[in-house]
Amino acid sequence: MSTMIDISDLHAGYGTGEVLKGVDLCVDQGETVALMGRNGMGKTTTVRALCGLLPARGGTVKVAGSDIAGLAAHKVARMGIGLVPEGRRCFPNLTVAENLVAAARIGSWDMARVTELFPRLAERKDQMAASLSGGEQQMLAIGRALMTNPRALILDEATEGLAPVVRSEIWDAIASVRAETGLSILVIDKSLKELRRIADRGVILDRGQSEWTGNLDELSVDEAARLLGV
């Protein structure tokens, strides 16, 4: 099995502060990996470095075998990294359909397939993205990332701040994307229960380092309490 995302000994930070002090993370082709950790441990910073939004200060980030060092964010996206950013960041001044069209790249994911995955987006096709509910915006953000026909999907806190019913809708959608496609998925979330159901492996960050890696079912109660505070 080939490695889609390969991060090794990654160091990165903002200004004089170093946030990542040696992150190791790899996602194989078709694999779903959960990235976990308490607040401020470097999850989103890892994602930013992976997407080319933040330069690495040390270590390497490889996408499908090639190093992304020095590449601009749009080039990394073209290599097949589809980011669903934290906080449901759609294009607020476009309609739902326009959001999807603006990001579209040729491939098996098109408008029809995305609206099949999220029928609610079809209903709201001509509505402005800013007027959607939180859950719908999240669906749109996932749909938009899929429209770029990525090889790996990065979901940063996809269910944060959503109502339980909407959450399970999002989880179901992620599960069906996983089952239907050979997409590699890196999912960042806090819900251990859902991640156990969906992820093949888990990586837990603590103070900017990969502290624990393995099958989430094997995560002991003590370790969960220590590393995740649950």
Which residues bind to other proteins, rule: CB under 8 A? 51, 53, 72-74, 77-78, 82-83, 85, 89-94, 98, 101-105, 144-145, 147-148
Considering the complex, state which of residue 148 and residue 184 has its C-beta at the smaller distance from other proteins.
148
213 membership: H or E segment, kind and range: strand 209-214
- Residue 13 forms beta bridges with which residues? 18
Please state the closest distance from residue 148 (CB atom) to other proteins, in A.
Answer: 5
Question: What are the tokens at 170?
Answer: 């999002």
Q: DSSP secondary-structure letter at 109? A: -
**Which residue, 27 or 219, is less far from other proteins as judged by CB?**
27
DSSP one-letter code for 140: H
Least gap, CB of 89 to other proteins (angstroms): 5
Q: Quick one: 103 or 224, whose CB is closer to other proteins?
A: 103
Distance of closest approach, residue 49 Cβ to other proteins, in angstroms: 13
CB neighbours of 119 closer than 8 A, spacing ≥ 6? none
The least distance separating other proteins from the CB of residue 213, rounded to whole angstroms, comes to 26
Nearer of residues 126 and 218 to other proteins, judged by Cβ? 126
Q: Which residues of 46-76 are buried (b: 16+ CB within 10 A; e: fewer)?
A: bbbbbbbebebeebebbbbeeebeebeeeeb
